[in-house]
Structure 1
Amino acid sequence: MLRVAVAGGAGYIGGELLRLLLGHPRVDVALATSDSLAGRRVDGPHPNLRGRTDLTFVRHGELADRQGSYDVLFLALPHKKTMGAMAGYLDLARTVIDLSGDFRLRDPEVYARYYGTAHTAPELLGGFTTGLPEQHRDALRTSDRISVPGCMATAGMLAVQPLADAGLLDGEVTVDARTGSSGSGVSAGEANLHAERSGAMRLFAPAGHRHEAEVAQASGLPVRMTATGVEAVRGVQVLCGVRLAGGAGGSEVRAAYRKAYEGERFVRLVAYRRGAYRLPEPKILSGSNYCDVGFAVGDGGRATLVGALDNLVKGGAGNAVQCLNVRFGWPEDTGLEFFGLHPN
């Protein structure tokens, strides 16, 4: 059994990590941190865990007091704060899996442009492997520094990358992303109160969302992303507008997806001519580690690529656990067997 610790266990991503890891047959959750909830039971902020654990939160500083006690450290800490402490975290466990945004981008200048501050540990950026098994599986098998992509970035990369790799895309990619309220975290401000968010479709990032940099880095193409908050609690859906190269059409797009995702456990091609769920829909993916991808080809060589996932699972904690499974040579669906609900 591997001993694992979760730093930042009180948030939605931290809670989802705990849910998945407590049900994982090959790990033992040794510790979860939260400065604000230190001394309180983990199943207080995460009532779905009642009866599954007697863990109590400890202060974040106690991680260092127990150096060498963990095999794997999961970091579910805020953007901009993780980078300054990362050198110390790397001394605490053999393998570190970071779910913040601080080590997703390889270029510190790009990081500064999208996060509004200079990166304080640029020398560490090149040492992290992108935590997306479908695209970086071989590197993840031996990597002890893993950076899990953002939720909308994951959906965008899985929708766009097969066509980019096949040379089927020409020019700029536009990504229209929609996300549920859990993406704002437990400390979301006034704009995310139920009275303000209910019934709203809030365009909170009309241009330059930070996840566009991740999709651009992966694809090598110029990317422009907007993001809208919708009334759902969980779920991400991205609509990626692209121009197809060389007269390509629907058959070439479908073939590229099938080649890329043949045998993949957690990516499904969903592109049907009829039915309520003929294209990827996050509602039926809630709680699961799937990302569904699909497409529709229009006139003039234009196409819309669609990706959908649960932002807390395949868009965060589930992807991190899948990376753990790859790193230690276990079946990738270990602890991730849940496949969603319908109706939901």
Structure 2
Amino acid sequence: MSKNKNTFLAKQIVAWYQINGRKDLPWRKNISVYKIWISEIMLQQTQVATVIPYFKRFIKEYPSLRSLIKASEDDILALWSGLGFYRRAKNIFLAKEKINQDFKGRFPKNFDDILSLPGIGQSTAGAISSIALNNPHPILDANVKRVLKRFYGKDFNEKELWELSKMATPQKNVFEYTQGIMDIGAIICTSKKKDCDLCPLKSNCSSKNIPLAKKIAFKKINPTHNLTYKLLVYKKKYLLFKKTDKTFWDGLWVPAEDQVKNYKKNIKTQRSTKVTHKLSHLNLKINIDIIHVNKLESIRTNREHKWVAFNEIEKIAIPAPIKKVINNEQNYSV
């Protein structure tokens, strides 16, 4: 690729970002490597608008790496509840453990050390290093891939794209360049439209004013999974079990499936409710029997469990549809 074209790309993006970049995003204010790390993990497979409130809540609870070091996996999962893709939260827990043990509680600055942290791949490591540390490392998320392909006018393979991203990344102003190319891909050169008139690259872009090819939309049909839970309630406390089967919701707290014994003679009231919930790969149909019991003494369980008071619900990791049922039940019982 032409060196002049690479230079043009970098200069235009840097200049555009300095004026038009999304500097109001919460992780771009008072930038720190810690905040960039948390935001980059949250932004994996999730839109910016969805991430913002979760990021603010997370940083309010854990404003620094030092404060996060003290957090348990359950603490982190609780803050993640509702954001989905819970493996990311587990990776944050594993990464902060590694940081504490291997890097004396300080976020590493060496690129290979950053790359060694759980949940961090080549592109995420590049984003952290370039944005937070101003080191020239390429990134290659979906937005960057799209901008590069359109600007250079070729459908490059993954290896070629990495090489192209490396050549295009400037040695100076990498902070502005990295955020700028991501912003252009997110708000100007999107997968569904191209606002070429607003793009700083238009005068040298190989795809300028070329209409996007219409794609035939194939609706993804996910399999359906049926779940049946028994939500035992004693006064304003709910019996929950930690899910440990390494499938969806692993590590989160859910009602009983078949773990509860000797409760049938202890039933005060019982009713059922049904909810549906969509995961990225699965549609869930959930039937929940809500069972109020008279006393706790006769109830036997065979797995790790806890009785959770309603005012503690927000402090533990509960899947969004289950939390909704508990909130509705609380209102129903009032």
**TM-score clears 0.5:** no
Higher CA-based Rg = 2
**Higher helix residue share:** 2
TM range (shorter): under 0.3
* TM-score normalised over the length of structure 1: 0.25
* TM-score normalised over the length of structure 2: 0.25
